[in-house]
Structure formats: C-alpha cells, structure tokens
Amino acid sequence: MMVFLRGWVQDIVVLLVLTLVVDSALPNGGVKRYVDYAVGLMLLLLLLSPINTFINNELDLSSMLATAEVLGGRRLKILDPLSLQSTWLTYELVLENRVAQISEEHEDVVKAKAEVTLEQAEDSAHFGMPTRVLLKVQLRQGIGAGSREEQQIHSALSERLAGIYGIKPAHMAIEFTR
C-alpha cells in the first residue's frame, strides 16, 4: 500500500514540475491555453488513477487487511463472514452465467437462465461444487411442449452439464418456455 501511495505521489510531483517548466517556457497565447488544458486533464486522470486501480482490482484490499491484522496483532472478525459471503455470491453468479451460456450454445435454445446452489460445507467431498441447478430455457418457435425434440434437448443439456460440472440428473431441473 505504501509503495502504491509513494509511486502515486511521485507521479503527481513529476507532472507538476514538468508543468511548471513547460508553462514558464511557453509564451502567453493560444498554444499556452491548450497546453494548460491538456496538462489539467492529465493531472485529473492522475488524481483519479487510484480509483481506476481499485475498480480493476489491481489494489488487493484483502492482502492489505491481512498485513494490517498481522501488524496489529489481532484478527478483524467482522470482515471474514462478509468477504466469504461475497466470494460465494460472486462464484455463484459466475457459475450461473456460465451454465446459461453453455445452454444457449444449443441450436434450439434462444435464451437460458440458471439458478445454481453450491455445496458450502467445508468437510464435504463436493465442497464448492453445484448441488442443484434450475435451468429455465426458452426454445425456438416450432418445438412443441412434451415433444420428442424437447426431450432430446433436455437430455442433451443434462448430459453436457453433467459432463462439465458433474451434476447428477436428479439434481438438475430444466423448465422450457416458448
């Protein structure tokens, strides 16, 4: 964290020094206005760069918290459940999106939405694996309800998801809509 702050402040100081040098070298006039405008934009972007770094997750807050906890000699118990819960929710959302994408790869599927339940018991052999999948699939026009095509699509999607994620067909529900 200190390395990041030190580098950020150094970049600001270098830009300000260069601005002073360029500003004093240019005569007053139209060109100076444009240079001042450009330098102002660069300074604004430089000042906002920590926000960009934070958004792009280049600034690892969890490691900084861990370092602070070690240096402080105590553990911040409040943050552990929240970060664990957000990790599970993020993983669940990513998995739901991926299951929907895999389903939409089938030529007869127009749109798919998935709801995934994960095994969260740490002592389980299936920890982190999907335990239940509810897939809502919109089929293309012309496929009748309960038809042989619908059954083939159901079986193809079940086999594909079982092959990728190891989900048992009994734990997978597929609802078709038109």
Give the integer Cα–Cα distance in Å for 157 and 172.
Answer: 10
Residue 113's pLDDT is what? 92
Contact (Cβ atoms closer than 8 angstroms) between residue 150 and residue 139: yes
- Report the pLDDT value the prediction gives residue 140, as an integer from 0 to 100: 83
- Look at the block and give the residue holding tokens 């309800």: 145
Domain spanning 79-177 has what CATH number? Answer: 3.30.300.30
The per-residue pLDDT for 76 is: 47
The predicted structure's pLDDT at residue 67: 59
Specify which residues 132 forms β-bridges with.
117
The domain limits of the chain are 2-59, 79-177
Mean pLDDT by runs of 10 across the 178 residues of the chain is 79 88 83 85 86 63 57 51 71 86 88 87 79 88 82 88 82 85
The pLDDT value recorded for residue 136 is 92
| CA–CA distance, 156 with 163 (Å, rounded to integer) | 11
CB-based contacts of 131, cutoff 8 Å, min separation 6: 117, 118, 119, 167, 171
Q: Is there a contact between 112 and 100 (Cβ–Cβ < 8 Å)?
A: yes
